[in-house]
Structure 1
Amino acid sequence: MDDTPPDTVLARVPAGAHELTVRAVLQDDPTSPVILLLPAMGVPARYYRRFVGNLHAHGLSVVTFDLRGQGESAPLPARGVRFAYQDLIDDVDAVIDVIASALPGAPRFLLGHSLGGQLGMLHTASRPGRVRGVVLVASGSAWYAAFPGIYRLRTLFGPQLVAGLARVLGYWPGHRLGFGGRQPVGLVRDWARQSRTGRYVLAGSSTNYEAALRSVDVPLLTVTVSGDRLAPQSSVDHLAGKAIRARRVHKHYSRTLAGADQLGHFSWVRNGAELSRWIREWVTEVHDLSLQS
């Protein structure tokens, strides 16, 4: 039985030709810490419903929205529909504006899965002071050299192939090919560039993200997941290691701890009760330390 509390629409945010529907499951206390959950590439926000319920059961308010072109966000990526990482980072900032307006007394935290974690780190680097901390769950760098063994070759050539096909077709039809969902050319080109070089150099942006990441000083919680071949420890370390000033806590989420027969890059979402407890404890510690400083 799904006992996740129903969400409410907090706001609809115009974002150029796009509209973002911002949903929330809130605590009665408006000063409770709030988690902004950033999904993986091609994954709709509704996929995280059970995990949102886990977080809410541990006393956290949770805000969700679909990344551009996914779920409730329109239009769909197609030939001529242009957006990339920088646009998604701007969207994150617009949603934080909504949270700050609706819950001015609530400490804000970002929680990113896969691509969502990369966006959370890049947003925090380029918009300092907007959140108290960042949680990365099954989220690492796409740099091919940060992967072990044969997965290094897959991670080098896979994104380049995706970007090449997207350029020919006008978009990436991942919904038909079984990976990443339907994505615009610009986004997969940013992804492929980072996979190839290890650096975040974003189309349409003048921000030096590598330098900005080195200045990130908010606390960071990173979580690797058993059976996750898309975000192994080495990949997570490469992404988190860019924030050399951040106070990092790292945990590994095993099948035993999750109480699950199988885990992986996506299935942890449906087995997140213990993980949500970890996150709540970490958020409480970070918040208490900030009050003391």
Structure 2
Amino acid sequence: MVDVVRRREVVPVEDGTRLELEVFEQVEGREAPVLLCLPAMGVPARYYEPFALELHRRGFHVVTSDLRGHGASSVRVGRGTDFGYYEMVARDLGAVVRAVRAAFQDSPLFLVGHSLGGQLGSLYLGLEGEGVRGLVLVAASSVYYRNYGALGGVKVLLGTQLAAVIATVWGYFPGRRLRFADNESARVIQDWARQARTGRYVLSGAAQDFEALLARVERPVLAISVDGDSLAPPAAVDHLYGKMPRARVVRWHFTQSDAGGAHLDHFRWVRHGAPVAARIAGWVGEVLAGEAGAGQDPRTEGRP
């Protein structure tokens, strides 16, 4: 068992929002890589504790952070709450990354994003990404409806657009009442629905062309899809990293067999995440050794 030092750190954001980080720190190995884990929509950071401990056992410092409006964030979603993807990318992630870099000045930093967290991590690399060595996408995908097949695409399109209408009329998205995700800011749902409809990241309140910014990303990316994941099927995962054609992408599919026969889906993989943690550890080692993608086409490795 690797010793772990756990602590919490409050990160102030420029608009007065406060975010809380949970840090799983190595007792030895101060220069070990640090992984910053970003959650899915409506999921509190504490859900990822088992996965964070798996990563820590493999020699990493690990930091988990709630998204704005969830968990230990100072923001509580309701009528009058006004934020979207842009605020989470430009303000929140910027502040969190700076805090993590300050705490681990000698450690290479990687982002690990699940679902929406992976989308936000990708957008952050396009916008800024200073000091971030690479990105891991776990069950993180573009939600463009054409990635889900004929029937699935219709369901995604209708569901996301209906959610946007509800959020606009209600003043926020009442996810707890509807038993989908959690309560969300209307603009988050509108950004989500727009991307589902158009396939493009056009962020409300942003002047930047995020599609053009994504196309300039050159950092290493590990893109992981998961067996049984209807919310982020392989084609949708491919569409997200495909927006970063200059990135050095390694592709891997996490199968039920990899998990020892355990049932997997968009969320259950976290409870069976040891093979994912091992794959991430191997990939980080390759990146740091300058060997990522050597001698092969990185976009085809492990393709399902």
Q: TM-score, normalised by structure 2?
A: 0.92
Q: What letter is aligned with 1:38?
A: L
Pairwise CA distance, 1:4 = 9.5
Q: What letter is aligned with 2:173?
A: W
What does 1:115-264 align with in structure 2 at a 5 Å threshold?
A: 115-264=116-265
**Aligned equivalents of 1:267 and 1:7: distance in 2?**
24
Query: SS at the partner of 1:256?
Result: coil
Which region of structure 1 is more displaced relative to structure 2, 15-24 or 223-232? 15-24
Query: SS at the partner of 1:132?
Result: strand
Partner of 2:300: none
**Aligned equivalents of 1:128 and 1:55: distance in 2?**
22
**Aligned equivalents of 2:272 and 2:255: distance in 1?**
11
Query: SS at the partner of 1:278?
Result: helix
Does the CA contact (< 8 Å) of 2:11 and 2:95 recur in 1?
Answer: no
Task: List alignment gaps of at least 5 residues for structure 2.
Answer: 292-304
Q: Are 2:266 and 1:265 aligned?
A: yes
The structure 1 segments of at least 4 consecutive aligned residues displaced by more than 3 Å after TM superposition are 3-6
**Aligned equivalents of 2:272 and 2:129: distance in 1?**
32
Cα shift readout 1:134-163 (whole Å, capped 9, x = no counterpart): 000001001101112311011111111111
Task: List alignment gaps of at least 5 residues for structure 1.
Answer: none
Pairwise CA distance, 1:15 = 4.4
Query: SS at the partner of 1:255?
Result: coil
Percent identical pairs in the alignment equals 43
The alpha-carbon distance between structure 1 residues 29 and 5, as it changes in their structure 2 partners (threshold 3 A), is closer
Pairwise CA distance, 1:5 = 4.6
Give the total of aligned pairs: 289
**Aligned equivalents of 1:159 and 1:4: distance in 2?**
44
The alpha-carbon distance between structure 1 residues 205 and 265, as it changes in their structure 2 partners (threshold 3 A), is same
Partner of 1:24: 23
Query: SS at the partner of 2:290?
Result: helix
Does the CA contact (< 8 Å) of 1:35 and 1:60 recur in 2?
Answer: yes
Q: CA RMSD in A?
A: 1.6
Cα shift readout 1:223-276 (whole Å, capped 9, x = no counterpart): 110000000011001110000001111111111111243100000000001110
Q: TM-score, normalised by structure 1?
A: 0.95
The alpha-carbon distance between structure 1 residues 128 and 71, as it changes in their structure 2 partners (threshold 3 A), is closer
Pairwise CA distance, 1:280 = 0.5
The alpha-carbon distance between structure 1 residues 175 and 7, as it changes in their structure 2 partners (threshold 3 A), is farther
**Aligned equivalents of 1:4 and 1:263: distance in 2?**
29
